[in-house]
Amino acid sequence: HRLAMTIQIMARGPRRAEILIHDAIGEDFFGDGLTSKKFAADLAALGKLDEITVSINSPGGAVFDGIAIYNALRAHGARIEVIVDGLAASIASVIAMAGDRITMRAGAMMMIHDPWTIALGNAEEMRDVADQLDRVARNIATIYAARARKPLDEIRELMRATTWFDGPGAVESGFADAAEGPTTAAEQHRAAFAAFAARVRERNANTTPLQIAASLRSIEDIAMPKPVQTPAAPAQDPAAVLAAERERRQQIRERFGRFAAEYRDLLDECLDDTSVTPDMAASRLLDQLGSRHQPLATPTSASDVDDFVSAASDALLLRAGIRVERPHAAARDVATMSLTDVAMVCLDRDPRGRSAIMRRERGDVFRAALTTSDFPAILEDAIHKAVRRGFETEPASHRAWVRVQPVTDFRDQHRPILGSAPELKPVAERGPYELGAFDEDSTAYRVEKFGRMIDLSWEALKNDTLGIFLARIPPALGQAARRREADAVYDLFSENGGSGPTMQDTNPLFDVAHANIADAQAAFNAAALSAGRLLLRKMTAVGGGLLSLVPRYLIVPAELETDAEMLIAAATVHRTGLDANEEPGTASRQSTTSATTPEWIARLQLVVEPRLADDAFYLVCESSQIDHCELGVLDENVSGPTIVQEETFDIDSMRWKVRHVFRPAFLDWRGIVKVPLASA
């Protein structure tokens, strides 16, 4: 019965249970890990038991969660059988000490060390933290000493030295009672030789000649011959065979746990081979983990890597003074680190990075860190977010009224313009319906590519000036991308001497043939707005039929901004007083001032654009009523420009390419009207 992701408890009769602790101890930044609260609750739910088997494969974690789990097991009353499947390190080794009997599986390891922590504060606070660590270390040492029957001072020396035990070493030192695996010297040599041959063959699978690979497999078979399998007697009951197979497959899946997705091929192989027992499957998984994963402080999934990259990139932005809407939970911890420190963490997390650098000189640190997968991803993510931040904060009046449409490629984007529905005609009783059709028009456009390239020198990285770079250059590029969009949109208004782009009927956007340009108005006032609204109301669809469009946006040049605000404010009814006939405290109110401008003007959304000439204003309806202006944006650029990163070869620098692909186009003239001003 699965009670939690990190602790699985399977009933084996009324008084026995098995607990699997295959995770870090305590909750980490990402909400993973086994807490003492969860463990105690699940343990209590089992009720009274005579025997509990605890299987451990954990790198350790939070000290006090581990001590609480140790005490919960010791206080339970059942006989505790501890089995170290792969690793019992740090505080997980303390949990193992709760066993009445401790067994080390073949290849399993145990590690003990002094506790450590991270702290901030003044000298007195640091001395207090050090004293606390000493007290915690002594408490842990007493647990080890009681189990190993060794003097406390000897245990403390082992802890200070960060001591690793294999199975026989743990038994010899008193930290375990039994160790599985080869027992004689000859068997140990054969196992080691076979493992070496297997490693050579697997690591060079793509380059080893077939004859040598076959020889290596032969060496494995000779060194560790496979046991002869005695055929089992055929089962008499088919239902029992099926039930046993289901149980085998279920236990194998439970042994894989959260590694099932990452090692899907290995899991399928174990499930399909009926000779593989759950213990054999667990052993194969441990072999894979040992060859591909680090035992401590190493991410075990792509999501862990993504979390680290996200936290580090958010931290760099915070250090640069760039506001992050929802920073990663661990970002503020990483923000105290220098860029060199972040690079060193990336090296420590990646085996390629550790092997690529042997000295701690700052230039070598950055060169080596760029060979890892994390550090370039952190830089690229930080640049991308900084550009996106600039893109989002740049004023963009066109995004208020233009419809943004994602497109998938650079081909012509064809847009149909539907006319009004066919007129409904009377139908006699039992008479036929006359077929009708929509009138339609069409137009097309294609997106264009815009971009720029920037770089950051190695000297800047070495001087840790990435924060200044992030705070200035990438946000400015994001702002430039947004401004380029606005330029492209409002440049359309100035084409053909201010009449707008040529439409599909060969007439300019604003033309008397389109009935969307009003007579010049003497002043910018309610009467001028009314003239524009009248034109929108009388727009007819393709093929005929009134559209009766409603103005939603008032687009004005910067010179008319204050006048437009006063017009809209005058149309708003201000409710500031109580009705003279009502008692205080009642909900009803009346206006002490009355509107002097039509109320429909108050519902207009004001759009101020300094790029427009001061000789006209515009009224636009919602794009949901009719298509007017569309901003086609390549799907990868809908929320901002794309960032592409590369390391340059001819000079020492990192280079980023900023790309933004879009194109605005007026699809229909019916949704927008121009009102010229004679007084301009």
Active site residues: 90, 113
CA-to-CA dists, residue 637 to 64, 274, 377, 451, 674, angstroms: 48, 51, 19, 12, 31
Q: How many CB atoms are closer than 10 A to CB 222?
A: 12
CA-to-CA dists, residue 267 to 139, 260, 264, 318, 675, angstroms: 41, 7, 5, 42, 71
- For residues 183 and 138, the answer to whether their CB atoms sit within 8 Å is no
As a whole number of angstroms, the distance between CA 62 and CA 117 comes to 10
Angle at 313 between CA 312 and CA 314, to 5 degrees: 90
Contacts of 424 (CB under 8 A, 6+ apart): none
Tokens of 628: 């007017």
- For residues 6 and 33, the answer to whether their CB atoms sit within 8 Å is yes
Q: Is 448 helix (H, G, I), strand (E, B) or coil?
A: strand
Contacts of 62 (CB under 8 A, 6+ apart): 25, 26, 27, 33, 35, 91
As a whole number of angstroms, the distance between CA 256 and CA 248 comes to 13
DSSP state letters, 331-372? HHHHTTS-HHHHHHHHHHH-HHHHHH--S--HHHHHHHHTTS
Tokens of 505: 């009927």
Phi-psi region of 269 (alpha: psi -120 to 50; beta: other; left: phi over 0): alpha
Number of residues written out for the chain = 680
Contacts of 215 (CB under 8 A, 6+ apart): none
